[in-house]
Amino acid sequence: MFRVGKRMRSSSDRDKRLRGALDAVDDAAFGISPGASPKDKFDVDSAEGQIRAIDLKALNQRFEQLDEYYSRAVAEIKASLRE
């Protein structure tokens, strides 16, 4: 119990208010209803996450191609400078 003004307030009241505030933030940030389970909170954008994963794989492949190209180009330049 802690004192607020002239009355005593229990810790459970404080916990309920905090939980309500956190639920409101979750709802605003994730568009999820306050009673949603943690699994639901993380599965909100699963389709969007899959699209991002595909994009990241494509970017990674492009990066690997560019890395190979630049490695070959640098090797050719070094070889031509040695001649």
3-class state of residue 3 by DSSP:
strand
Q: Are residues 34 and 51 in the same domain?
A: no
| 44 secondary structure, DSSP code | T
Q: Does the pLDDT of residue 32 top 70, yes or no?
A: no
Choose between 64 and 32: higher pLDDT: 64
Residues 6+ apart with CB under 8 A from 8: 1, 2
Q: Are residues 62 and 26 in the same domain?
A: no
Q: Does the pLDDT of residue 77 top 80, yes or no?
A: yes
Q: Are residues 34 and 56 in the same domain?
A: no
Q: Are residues 25 and 3 in the same domain?
A: yes
The boundaries of the domain holding residue 23 are 1-43
Q: Which one-letter amino acid corresponds to residue 64?
A: E
CA distance 46 to 52: 10
Q: Are residues 56 and 22 in the same domain?
A: no
User: Average model confidence (pLDDT) for the chain?
Assistant: 76
80: confidence class by pLDDT, cuts 50, 70, 90: very high
Q: Are residues 51 and 15 in the same domain?
A: no
Q: Are residues 36 and 6 in the same domain?
A: yes
